[in-house]
Amino acid sequence: MKKATKQEIKEIHQLFIDKYSDAVTELKYKNVYELVIAVILSAQCTDKRVNIITPALFEKYPDPKSLALADIDDVKQLINSCSFFNNKAKNIVEMAKKVVEVYGGKIPLNEKELMTLSGVGQKTANVVMIEYTGANLMAVDTHVFRVAHRLGLSDDKTAIGTEATLVKKFKNNLNALHQGMVLFGRYICKAKNPKCDECFLIKYCKTKESFKV
């Protein structure tokens, strides 16, 4: 597959910034505690579904302290329409316990410290930092992975590899680029039946056939 040229990368960067500079996550949250949980739950689950699940969860467990003491079966019950809910319930309760025990009940706003929490990998930590602090970081989910490959920005086999390549090629405005690529992948450059007639990046597209993830 052809790779994007330096000039194309520059133009793609600018077009994303122009269109999505004000973009934010579609996950609903009121504070960083709610954001961390929403991002953990959103793995392999739609933001729409997460937004349906979280109000009752946050009402019952409004802070790390209450969630750390929660009955795991009750948490499972509250999030059971989410994919992998058993595992996620365990993770968010463990996450809350560590926040209480190690960080005095406050979610750490540091990428490396966030990654010490249960259920928080590099992607989740980066998404939280991008969304909550506007950090110049990139996070690669299925949408970003697909868009990066279809535009010839990356031919990496993994999300982490793709992230490193995008950081190197784009360098700045990474937070806006991440949000833009997520929304672009979700609504226009979809896995199946991409809306090529609505695409503002059509001339940079290397393939719409592969990467149906």
* pLDDT digit string, tens, across residues 175-192: 999 999 999 999 999 999
pLDDT value of position 23: 86
> What is the secondary structure of 114-159 as a DSSP string?
HTTSTT--HHHHHHHHHHHH--S-----HHHHHHHHHTTS---SSH
Give CB contacts under 8 A, 24+ apart, made by 187-194. 189/143, 189/146, 189/147, 189/150, 191/142, 191/146
Residues of the chain with CATH 1.10.340.30: 32-133
One-letter identity of residue 51: N
Three-state SS at 174: helix
Q: Which residue has the tokens 């259920």?
A: 119
Q: Catalytic residue positions?
A: 123, 141
Cβ neighbours for 190, distance < 8 A, ≥ 6 positions apart: none
Nearest to 52 by CA among 66, 61, 41: 41
One-letter identity of residue 103: Y
Q: Cα–Cα distance between 142 and 194 in angstroms, integer?
A: 14
pLDDT digits (tens, 9 = 90+) for 45-60: 999 999 999 999 999 9
Whole-number average pLDDT of the chain:
94
State the pLDDT confidence band at 208, using cuts at 50, 70 and 90: confident
> What is the secondary structure of 78-92 as a DSSP string?
HTTTSTTHHHHHHHH
Contact 190, 146 (CB under 8 A): no
Residues of the chain with CATH 1.10.1670.10: 6-23+137-204
Sign of CA dihedral 184, 185, 186, 191: positive
Q: Is the pLDDT of residue 209 over 80?
A: no
Check residues 115 and 24 and name the one with the higher pLDDT.
115
Q: How many angstroms separate the Cα of 163 from the Cα of each of 39, 41, 158?
A: 18, 21, 9
CA angle 117, 24, 35 (to 5 degrees): 25
Sign of CA dihedral 109, 87, 71, 57: positive
Q: Is the pLDDT of residue 1 over 80?
A: no
Q: Which CATH number fits domain 6-23+137-204: 2.102.10.10, 1.10.1670.10, 3.40.50.970, 1.20.1260.10?
A: 1.10.1670.10
Which superfamily does CATH assign the domain made up of 32-133 to?
Answer: Hypothetical protein; domain 2 (1.10.340.30)
Q: Cα–Cα distance between 150 and 170 in angstroms, integer?
A: 16
